């Protein structure tokens, strides 16, 4: 029965990650149907990310207080109901409100799902379990443009949200059936001041990032949002140092494995988050392909991701976390920069091969970073650790889109174009492809044996050494 837990988590995370991109290809059609402009509809995209960022910090405390199964199943149900409301929306205001409700459910699903995995499996089993949970995080955003383009072309845009209904029902049933309702015996009162300050800080940051260069907000608003964010996060930092039970316990960053997974993971995800945004633009604007064709191409990365899930634990056991994260950062960086070499004359099988390999190695990197989060966390600190990890992941992926868009904007201006052309994509893709390599700075700070209890790497070395000692002993016995 325990083997079904990763699948229950995977269903929920797939829905959440799918919804982060599925709406993008349908924005013009939805705007026309709701009698508004595509620029105004960007609020429906931003408010989802905003709701995620604001409510994630509360998820760990709620899971400890009310039980992981209750909160996780309730979050899936809330997300499913909100999806139905999105599909029924008759105005922009209703759609924005429903998307905010979706984000609230998603904010509880992601960190609580990771917490369930961390508490349900021994450290030696976490890499294998995490490989199943990591896949939806990669496939969802890749499938989003493909499914969104197909649904918008051949059916009503409302089915973009209705596709969540059967998955949500199955996910809720799986959670109620297979997930244990784990609670912490002594849960401290919630840090209301901390939650408010973090909410304001993350709200300002995400809204500011999401609206850089879009011209949707009045002039000067973005600066005010960033100022609000900086002030709120600074006040939280002062509050956190005095609080005995802070909303996000930043003292966990003193743990080397946790710090490397959060900081190195954030840098990696900035680079990873940019490419799902840039590649569809490259294929459609620069190469003249349809949304459905570009979505089909980007989806090939999911093939590599699915392939890696079978061997992630064996690879980590063979190399250990430190060597693997450093070496794989170079590989994924090189593959990301190779996107800059794509042209309209590049054979499609070459593009498919490169994207498939990229999906393979990025999945390995995601799995290692996610598993390393729990390598040295005590059970009582896991809920707070998952909240920090989830916030960092969400913010860094959003920042990746903003960085990619800003880099492409400046590259387009420098190339003298009005809309992005091949000349603008080349430096942009080189730049964002290089970002994951910078994460090596954090991974290199790990000890050679970091996370060995989880990966089994040290155990393998000891076993090999004993085997080598045993062979001469046997030979010596035969000699006598």
Per-residue pLDDT of the chain (480 residues; tens, 9 = 90+): 667 788 888 888 888 778 777 776 676 678 788 888 655 676 776 677 678 777 887 888 888 888 889 999 999 999 999 999 999 999 988 998 998 899 889 888 877 887 888 788 876 777 777 767 766 666 676 677 778 778 877 888 899 899 899 999 998 998 898 888 888 777 778 888 988 898 888 888 877 776 665 555 677 787 888 899 999 999 999 998 888 878 888 889 999 999 999 999 999 999 888 887 788 778 877 888 876 777 778 777 777 777 776 677 778 888 888 999 999 999 999 999 999 999 888 998 999 999 999 988 988 898 888 888 888 888 778 878 888 888 888 778 777 877 887 788 888 888 776 677 888 899 999 999 999 999 999 999 998 888 777 666 654 443 333 333 343 333 333 333
For tokens 């009162």, what's the residue? 189
Residue 384: closest CA among 13, 55, 61 = 61
Residue 456: closest CA among 122, 161, 216, 200 = 122
Q: Compute the Cα dihedral for 405, 407, 408, 413 and give only its sign.
A: positive
For tokens 């229950």, what's the residue? 8
CB neighbour list of residue 393: distance below 8 Å, 6 or more residues apart: 110, 265, 266, 269
Residue 25: closest CA among 370, 407, 291 = 291
pLDDT for residue 90: 92
Residue 400: closest CA among 268, 301, 225, 295 = 268
* DSSP letter (8 states) at residue 218: P
Cα dist. 131→1, 7, 315, 341, 446 in Å?
A: 18, 11, 12, 30, 22
Q: Compute the Cα dihedral for 37, 39, 43, 44 and give only its sign.
A: positive
| pTM confidence score | 0.74
What is the enclosing helix (H) or strand (E) of 423? helix 422-434
Tokens of 439: 């994460």
pLDDT for residue 372: 87
Largest CA distance in the chain: 92
Measured in whole angstroms, the distance separating CA 341 from the mean position of its chain's CA atoms is 26
Dist. CA 96–CA 141, nearest whole Å? 20
Asked whether 138 and 366 are in contact (CB, 8 A), the reply is yes
């Amino acid at each position: 029965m325990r083997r079904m837990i990763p699948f229950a988590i995977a269903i929920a995370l797939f829905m959440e990650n799918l919804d982060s991109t599925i709406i993008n290809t349908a924005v013009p059609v939805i705007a026309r149907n709701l009698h508004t402009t595509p620029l105004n509809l960007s609020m429906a995209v931003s408010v989802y990310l905003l709701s995620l960022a604001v409510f994630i910090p509360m998820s760990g405390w709620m899971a400890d207080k009310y039980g992981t199964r209750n909160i996780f199943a309730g979050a899936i149900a809330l997300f499913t109901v909100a999806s139905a409301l999105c599909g029924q929306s008759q105005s922009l205001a209703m759609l924005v409100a429903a998307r905010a409700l979706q984000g609230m459910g998603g904010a509880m699903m992601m960190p609580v799902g990771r917490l369930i995995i961390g508490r349900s499996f021994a450290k030696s089993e976490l890499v294998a379990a995490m490989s199943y949970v990591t896949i939806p995080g990669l496939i969802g955003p890749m499938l989003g443009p493909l499914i969104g383009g197909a649904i918008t072309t051949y059916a009503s845009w409302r089915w973009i949200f209705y596709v969540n209904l059967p998955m949500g029902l199955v996910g809720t049933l799986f959670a109620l059936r297979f997930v244990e309702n784990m609670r912490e015996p002594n849960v401290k009162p919630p840090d209301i001041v901390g939650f408010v300050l973090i909410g304001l800080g993350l709200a300002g940051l995400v809204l500011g990032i999401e609206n850089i260069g879009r011209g949707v907000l009045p002039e000067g608003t973005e600066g005010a949002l960033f100022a609000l964010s900086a002030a709120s996060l600074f006040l939280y930092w002062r509050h956190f140092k005095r609080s005995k039970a802070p909303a996000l316990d930043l003292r966990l960053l003193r743990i080397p494995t946790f710090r490397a997974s959060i900081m190195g993971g954030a840098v990696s995800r900035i680079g990873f988050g940019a490419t799902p945004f840039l590649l569809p633009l490259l294929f459609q604007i620069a190469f003249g392909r349809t949304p459905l064709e570009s979505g089909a191409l980007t989806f090939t990365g999911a093939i590599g991701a699915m392939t890696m899930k079978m061997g992630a634990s064996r690879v980590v056991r063979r190399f250990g976390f430190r060597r693997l994260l450093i070496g794989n950062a170079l590989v994924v960086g090189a593959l990301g920069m190779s996107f800059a070499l794509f042209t309209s004359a590049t054979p499609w099988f070459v593009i498919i091969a490169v994207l498939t390999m990229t999906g393979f190695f990025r999945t390995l990197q995601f799995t290692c970073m996610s598993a390393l989060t729990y390598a040295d966390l005590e059970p009582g600190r896991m809920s707070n650790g998952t909240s920090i990890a989830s916030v960092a992941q969400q913010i860094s992926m959003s920042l990746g889109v903003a960085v990619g868009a800003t880099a492409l904007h400046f590259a387009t201006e420098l190339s003298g174009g009005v809309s992005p052309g091949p000349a603008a994509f080349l430096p942009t893709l080189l730049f964002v492809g290089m970002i994951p390599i910078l994460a090596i700075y954090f991974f290199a700070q790990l000890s050679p044996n970091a996370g060995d209890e989880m990966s089994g790497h040290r155990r393998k070395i000891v076993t090999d050494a004993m085997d080598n000692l045993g062979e001469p002993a046997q030979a010596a016995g035969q000699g006598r």
